[in-house]
Amino acid sequence: MQLTGDRFTSETASFGNDLSTFPNFPAEIRAPAGTLPGVSSFQLHFADHDILTPGDRPDVLVAMNPAALKANLPETPHGATIIVDSADFTKRNLGKIGYDENPLEDGSLEAYHVHSLDLTGMTVEAVKEFGLGRKEAARAKNMFALGLLSWMYNRPTEGTIDFLRSKFAKKPDIANANVAAFRAGWNYGETTEDFSVSYEVKPAAMAAGTYRNISGNLALAYGLVAASVQSGLPLFLGAYPITPASDILHELSKHKRFGVQTFQAEDEIAGIGAALGASFGGALGVTTTSGPGVALKSETIGLAVSLELPLVICAIQRGGPSTGLPTKTEQADLMQAMYGRNGEAPVPIVAPQSPADCFDAALEAVRIALTYRTPVFLLSDGYLANGSEPWRIPDIAGLPDLSVEFATEPNHTDAKGNPEFWPYLRDPETLARPWAIPGTAGLEHRIGGIEKADGSGNISYDPANHDLMVRTRQAKVDGVARSIPDLEVDDPNGDAKVLVLGWGSTYGPIGAACRRVRKAGHSIAQGHLRHINPFPTNLGEVLKRYEKVIIPEMNLGQLITLIRARYLVDAMGYNKTRGMPFRAEELAGVLTDVIAGVDGS
């Protein structure tokens, strides 16, 4: 189903529609077939105008078995089209999921436009000339369904046919069977009277440029490669595979021609240790993980704070605690990124707002890390990582210059007037210390996790010096705020009394909900944070402009805790941890109620 959704998405992107996707699949490598926990789904929303989410409820549901129908029916509105493979609605399969009667026959689906088709049988018949066994032939039924939907929505077909021939180039019978099934599905829609309507969704109006469909993890990987090129530093990724971050490791391993080195470590600690060691050696050190891995990496992140070396920690959040929900999304690691280390160890935090935005967020995280000599958290999540949208490929000339200068000469003299190198003399603007590559003649120096004397870097247990170093490291992170833009607020009429403040992947649902609220005749303002530590300098002033602030989060209230503590604002939270993104319709209802409360209506 993921392959089917991906192919429909690719053709939709090439056609020029705006789109947003939501792949949803089990954590098990081979989940129990025909069971509710084993259902794998792919939701796609596409349009001839700008859209922000994968949609709330599908207009068309394709269910390959009873489990898929039962799992998705509650999310399907009355009047929707449902296409099911009747061949799988056997007594045994129905019993697996608690159906006493066949829903295709008991009248329970009368509120829907149901097309009960023997997809398996028609697929087997369509590919019989290739001599495949029934089981192998039946596996092509997803391509039959894809062909049918491609006819329904007038999707291009050449790309999918070329893809199938390429993917199964070494197995021509399999390739031919899948192509035949795909064409049979298209022809079935074209010739049968069962489907009397097809739809045309025209291309969306977009700014001029070259576009491609891109997922969040792919965009993040490309952003890191671009940052490596723009900084002139070799990229080193030290990582341990973990869902949903592993795709970044897989992708970066393909780009050795850009000087990218990837190290699949034996565990999370080794991964970040190698990345920090690479930074010490003058490379762009990066590590990727999810929430459970951040916990294991926390001591080394604290070491990076003490060493004051650039390091990017890409944390792709998933449901927790512990190993939690590996393939489901959540925003519950913000407090861990903010405070999950011993001692005073401040780390800047950057959060992308959409799959394509992961590219820009990666560049920004690297900029901060290199400029201020500090580890930086990039907080994405499973929704962004696996979801996709059209991405306008940027002009390389417009990418930021991230070049750095390494220390090459001594910067101090000892009591006898001899030149020496002090590793903790600081840039007066950024408070960044000099970055000296080990082995540079005359720049021998000491760094480590034990507290060091300001300037010289010698071990120091002096209380006053420790206080100075703690405050200096905090001031360095606070100073990042001077280089980030002010928070922009979307308040079209300028008369809104309620502000919706979000961060990360809630951008799409919040934006779509605000559109609904405004369409209903209400005024509402939206602000979205990319930088969470430090906050934009104007955030306090923005919050004071509104009578009520509401903060939707996929956690139990982490950003709102930071906002209340910092700005003493009586903000209101809206929190869910279902492993699923917010629905725009649901959120719009909440916002409308808040507006009514403020207006007294």
Q: Per residue in 137-172, pLDDT tens?
A: 999 999 999 999 999 999 999 999 999 999 999 999
In CATH terms, the fold of domain 489-599 is: Rossmann fold (3.40.50)
The CB-side HSE value for 159 (13 A sphere, CA atoms) comes to 15
Give the pLDDT score at 29.
81
Give the pLDDT score at 194.
87
Share of the chain above pLDDT 90, in %: 97
Q: Where exactly are the structural domains of the chain? A: 2-191, 211-398, 489-599
Give the pLDDT score at 460.
96
* One-letter amino acid for residue 572 of the chain: M
Considering only 32-36, 208-212, 407-411, 422-426, which range has the smallest mean pLDDT?
32-36
Write out the DSSP string of 67-125: HHHHHHGGGSPTT-EEEEEGGG--HHHHHHTT-SS-TTTSSTTTTSEEEEE-HHHHHHH
Give the pLDDT score at 118.
97
Rounded distance, CA 279 to CA 262, Å?
A: 14
Kindly indicate the confidence band of residue 224, based on its pLDDT and cuts at 50, 70 and 90: very high
Answer whether residue 573 shows pLDDT above 80: yes
Answer whether residue 601 shows pLDDT above 80: no
Rounded distance, CA 117 to CA 143, Å?
A: 14
The pTM is what? 0.95
* Structural contact between residues 291 and 318, judged by C-beta atoms closer than 8 angstroms: yes
Give the pLDDT score at 125.
96
Rounded distance, CA 537 to CA 480, Å?
A: 10
456: which residues sit within 8 A by CB, 6+ positions away? 412, 422, 423, 424
Query: Which of 1.10.1270.20, 3.40.109.10, 3.40.50.970, 1.10.4190.10 would CATH assign to domain 211-398?
Result: 3.40.50.970
Across 256-276, average pLDDT: 98
Rounded distance, CA 551 to CA 1, Å?
A: 34
Give the pLDDT score at 209.
94
Rounded distance, CA 524 to CA 115, Å?
A: 42
Answer whether residue 511 shows pLDDT above 80: yes
Rounded distance, CA 389 to CA 359, Å?
A: 12
Rounded distance, CA 81 to CA 113, Å?
A: 5
Give the pLDDT score at 189.
95
Give the pLDDT score at 196.
82
Answer whether residue 116 shows pLDDT above 90: yes
Answer whether residue 254 shows pLDDT above 90: yes
Across 173-179, average pLDDT: 96
Across 533-555, average pLDDT: 98
Tell me whether domains 2-191 and 489-599 share a fold.
no
* One-letter amino acid for residue 207 of the chain: A
Answer whether residue 577 shows pLDDT above 90: yes
**Residue showing tokens 């049918």:** 148
Give the pLDDT score at 563.
98
DSSP code for 520: T
Answer whether residue 264 shows pLDDT above 90: yes
Across 526-538, average pLDDT: 98
Averaged confidence pLDDT in the chain: 96
In CATH terms, the fold of domain 2-191 is: Pyruvate-ferredoxin Oxidoreductase; domain 3 (3.40.920)
Across 70-94, average pLDDT: 96
